[in-house]
Each structure stands twice: as C-alpha cells, then as structure tokens.
Amino acid sequence: MLTPDRLFRLITELIFLLLGGLLVWLGLSGRLFFDRRSLAWVIASVALILWGLRAFYKPGEWRARWQNWTRGLSLVLVGVMMVAIARVPFAWVGPLLTFAGLLLVARGVLGSLLSLRPR
C-alpha cells in the first residue's frame, strides 16, 4: 500500500517524466518558439541550478539519499543545459533540448523506481 507521501512523490516523478517527454518532442520537431536569450530564460536556468543544489544540502532521511541525489543532479544538469542553450548556435538548440528532456525522463523513471522500492 502506498502512503500519501510516496504517492505524492510518484505523481511528482510522473510530472517530470511528462515534462521530459514534452521537451524531447519539442527538440525533435524543431518547433522552438521561445526567446532563449531573454532574462526570464536566464532566471529560470539559474533557479533550476540553485533548486538542484539545495537538494544536495537539504537534510533528510538517510534512506532517501539516492532520491535526493537523483533529483538534485537532474535539476542541476537541466539548468546547465538551459544556460548552454542560451549560448550555442541555433542549430544546436534542438539536440540540447532533446538531451535535457531525456535527462528529465530518466529522472522520472529512476525517481519512480526509487520511490516504489520497499523500505
């Protein structure tokens, strides 16, 4: 039986899985209609990096350390990918966006498996 806490974590990881799928689809289709050099893009990328770094230092349960590391590392890597997207030539934006989406898909799958494992 899933506790409400574990169910909430599972739903959160499902949302990240779907968000990663959306980024993969956008990267592969080439429908990139956003300003990657705007201030909002930079703020969002820095916020993702800081949010991911906070997961490393947040005190938590010893058993949940792999979940925290997975969450933190994925957010830091996606934030770094967003900073890179703002700086690379336009031809590289699609593949980088696809890679960022694959990172989020991997986080969703791995986080779901870690939250479903028996304690």
Q: Indicate whether 92 belongs to any domain.
A: yes
**Of residues 11, 36, 9, 12, the one with CA closest to residue 100:** 36
Q: Indicate whether 43 belongs to any domain.
A: yes
Number of structural domains the chain divides into = 1
Q: Indicate whether 2 belongs to any domain.
A: no
Quick: pLDDT tens for 19-35. Answer: 999 999 999 998 888 88
| Domain coverage including residue 91 | 8-27+36-116
Q: Indicate whether 46 belongs to any domain.
A: yes
Q: Indicate whether 45 belongs to any domain.
A: yes
Q: Can you give the pLDDT at residue 63?
A: 65
Confidence of residue 62 (pLDDT cuts 50, 70, 90): low
Cβ–Cβ under 8 Å, residues 101 and 21: yes
Q: Which amino acid is at 13?
A: E
Q: Indicate whether 1 belongs to any domain.
A: no
Q: Indicate whether 3 belongs to any domain.
A: no
The pTM of this model reads 0.88
Q: Indicate whether 15 belongs to any domain.
A: yes
How many Cα atoms are found within 13 Å in the side-chain-facing hemisphere of 67? 20
Cβ–Cβ under 8 Å, residues 86 and 78: no
Percent of the chain with pLDDT over 90: 66
Quick: pLDDT tens for 71-103. Answer: 899 999 999 999 999 999 989 999 999 999 999
Give Cβ neighbours of residue 114 (< 8 Å, ≥ 6 apart).
Answer: 66, 67, 70
